[in-house]
Amino acid sequence: MARAAQLGGRLDAVVFAACVLVALVFSGLPEPMRDPVASALRRTIVAPLIGMQRGAERWRAAWLESERQTLQRDSAGMFRAKSKSLEMENDRLRKLLGLGSRLDWGFVPAEALHTEGRTEDVITSMTLTAGSAAGVSQYSPVVAPEGIVGLVQTVDPRMSIAILYSHPDFRVSAMSADGAAFGIVYPHLDVGPGRLSERYLLELRNVPFRSTLAIGAQIFSSGVGGAWPRGVLIGTVVDSVAETERWSRTYLVRPAVNPAHVTSVMILTSERVLQGVGNIWTVSPPGDATRPLTVRRDSVRRDSLRRDSLRLDTIPPVRF
């Protein structure tokens, strides 16, 4: 038994030595002699394995290609969405520049920051990036190119918090464009379940019964009370509300400003409120800021052409 084991061990050693020798011989063979052996192996036992490897690598290439295409599609989609939002922001900023040039003085520009991670369903307040250091005071009116946004509630040196027209405490005395109907604008709080979008509507209350307003009529601040200057656009009448009292009317007003789109605003200073805003919102909506620039550029070009022609007139004729 021990002899058989010894024999087996010796056989193992011999076979191992033979295998090592074969491997070393193959390793030491010159290339022209090695290649036929390698080629024969490649054509026989390795060929199906290589076929499988080719298939697996094709699968991997296809997978990577599809991943690359998905990434390209995603980035193209993101770029498109971003360009759309940039376009909107650009449009808003142009309008704001237009409003700034119309107001000319008595305002503080600020960025409106919507609080991230808010739990409320309806936006009722926002943080503004200008504070008392820039001349903002409590109850300063906040406006956008489209009209009324809200009222500053608390002021810090570098920032302030404003309530929007959707806030339950918001009030503004209002009137129709022709000044025939007066009332007070409140937020529309009485909204049924599932109709949350209506929460952003406003109510024009206490309009005298004799004054009727048509659907689509524009409503402006009346300046009564002194908090708001006269003539800032609030919104348009969309419906009338049935009243139990018979001596006054109430109308639903769609605000001119969409709070979701408010990114930059103007805060009116107290001097400007006292002075008034004139007919900035009543005559026509604040237009594109590029329009006055274009007009100015054209007039400069006209002037330069005129100067050139004058200069030509003054050049003495050349004598040959």
Asked if residue 150 lies in contact with residue 185, where contact means CB atoms within 8 angstroms, the answer is no
Asked if residue 141 lies in contact with residue 227, where contact means CB atoms within 8 angstroms, the answer is yes
Asked if residue 219 lies in contact with residue 232, where contact means CB atoms within 8 angstroms, the answer is no
Question: Which of 265, 266, 235 shows the shortest CA–CA distance to 253?
Answer: 235
Least distance (Å) between residue 26 CB and other proteins = 4
Rounded Cα distance between 91 and 146, Å, is 12
Residue indicated by tokens 């139990």: 244
Least distance (Å) between residue 60 CB and other proteins = 5
- 40 versus 295: smaller Cβ distance to other proteins: 40
Least distance (Å) between residue 73 CB and other proteins = 23
β strands within the chain, DSSP E: 107-113, 125-128, 141-144, 147-155, 160-164, 172-176, 182-187, 202-208, 218-221, 233-241, 248-255, 264-268
Least distance (Å) between residue 1 CB and other proteins = 16
Least distance (Å) between residue 17 CB and other proteins = 9
In sequence order, the β-bridge partners of residue 182 are 175
- 19 versus 133: smaller Cβ distance to other proteins: 19
- 58 versus 261: smaller Cβ distance to other proteins: 58
Least distance (Å) between residue 7 CB and other proteins = 12
Asked if residue 263 lies in contact with residue 126, where contact means CB atoms within 8 angstroms, the answer is no
Binding residues for other proteins, rule: CB under 8 A, are 8, 11-12, 14-16, 19-20, 22-29, 31, 34, 37-39, 41-42, 45-46, 49-50, 52-53, 55-57, 59-60
- 36 versus 117: smaller Cβ distance to other proteins: 36
- To the nearest 10°, report the CA torsion of 67, 73, 74, 75: 110
CA angle 66, 70, 72 (to 5 degrees): 115
- 21 versus 78: smaller Cβ distance to other proteins: 21
- 27 versus 314: smaller Cβ distance to other proteins: 27
